[in-house]
Chains A and B, each alone.
Chain A
């Protein structure tokens, strides 16, 4: 079995928001599959955790739920990102890029020193 990376709550939020922003409204299963695919199966989320994350995002009004029919004619709840959600996504993306930039430079320094 591949090693399951532990995903922090905040990170999962960010990934869900990005998925919805990029792919449009999706249901819970679709979101989970998408995240798995994008991370090339490295991130195997416990499928149930997605839903707890979704509930929190709905509470914060960053995504909106809506009942609909899935491709295979199942009744499913579709989530779409809200305007507040998009703003949050942009803010968090900036933070991440800033952090990864700093760490990246730090790592480069270390290699050169060797």
Chain B
């Protein structure tokens, strides 16, 4: 078998060798024929007649010595290329269809992969729920837009709710250092990390008092941002970075396994404490700009929680 594989790669040389062998055989036949008295032309013709078809011989030789399956395959490939070159229109249609098919498949898989297949790196994920509110004016459900005042009420009033946390998506502009970078950001309640059960790899999470205006000049980084922009420097804790022209102190770095819900492609890179000014809380009609997350107490079923 090994000789066959080797033979396949030295095809051309082996063909040449065999061809030469056949050539000398034929010339020897011709000489013999001439010795017997034939003219050179007759000699040659007689020799070739006795010899049989050389093309088929070469093919049979290759079959015996090499990998005929591979040979046949290569022949087909070469033929295909010739045909394609002659019909560029057909070829481009075929290639385009293939391309679209592959792209669509990849897109679908990426989506499924991100949404379904990646496990949630939260503690007890079945107890975490993303909540939305129903607007009574027109009965539509606004997905995950929650009035922070209501959220506070849930925390106080619903016994089946263990923790309530708010988040608001944003974009942060990091300046200073290498170059300016715009990253997805999130402003979150201090207990968001506890709700998810995620521990920072360095530093700490936000403290309750950091939700107050003035104390909130802190920021938590994601691991990917820490690696890319801060060179995996563990002494980044305590240093200050400028986000949206506000200097904030880095207090923690979150592990890469933690992903915010509903963020498939754009992963949140920086977290800031969610500061709710009194005006925002007091707005009549509600300010439905926040995503809400709750963790129910263990043992609480969906129905009980809903009733509450």
Residues of A within 8 A of B (CB): 27-29, 32-33, 44, 46-49, 51-52, 55-56, 59, 70, 72, 74-77
Contact = CB atoms under 8 A, between A and B. Distances in A.
Contact of B57 (A32, A52, A70, A75): A52
A46 B65 CA distance: 20
A56 B4 CA distance: 12
Contacts of A55: 61, 64-65
A72 B28 contact: yes
A47 B23 CA distance: 12
Contact of B22 (A46, A49, A51, A70): A51
B199 interface: no
Chain B interface, DSSP helix/strand/loop, else mixed: helix
A59 B7 CA distance: 11
Contacts of A77: 17, 21
B305 interface: no
B232 interface: no
B100 to A, nearest CB: 48
B24 interface: yes
Nearest to B23: A74
B52 A47 contact: yes
Contact of A29 (B17, B25, B60, B64): B25
Q: Which of A29, A48, A51 has the most CB of B within 10 A?
A: A48
B227 interface: no
Main secondary structure of the interface of A (DSSP, over half): helix
A75 B64 contact: no
B61 to A, nearest CB: 6
Given A46-B52, A47-B25, A47-B50, 6 more contacts: A32-B25, A49-B52, A51-B21, A51-B25, A76-B25, A77-B21
B253 to A, nearest CB: 65
B135 interface: no
B20 interface: yes
B166 to A, nearest CB: 78
B63 to A, nearest CB: 9
Contact of A76 (B21, B51, B53, B57): B21
A46 B52 CA distance: 7
Given A29-B24, A76-B21, A47 B61 contact: no
A75 B61 CA distance: 20
13 contacts: A27-B24, A27-B25, A33-B32, A46-B51, A47-B29, A47-B52, A48-B22, A51-B21, A51-B61, A70-B24, A74-B27, A75-B24, A77-B21
B24 A76 contact: yes
Interface in B25-41: 25, 27-29, 31-32
Given A46-B52, A48-B54, A59 B65 contact: yes
Given A28-B21, A47-B25, A52-B61, A72 B54 contact: no
Nearest to A49: B52
Given A47-B29, A72-B31, A52 B24 contact: no
B18 interface: yes
Contacts of B60: 52
A59 B29 CA distance: 26
A51 B15 CA distance: 13
A47 B51 contact: yes
B197 to A, nearest CB: 67
Contacts of B20: 75
A74 B52 CA distance: 22
Contacts of B57: 48, 51-52
Contacts of A48: 22, 51-54, 57
A48 B22 CA distance: 8
B235 interface: no
Nearest to B32: A33
B87 interface: no
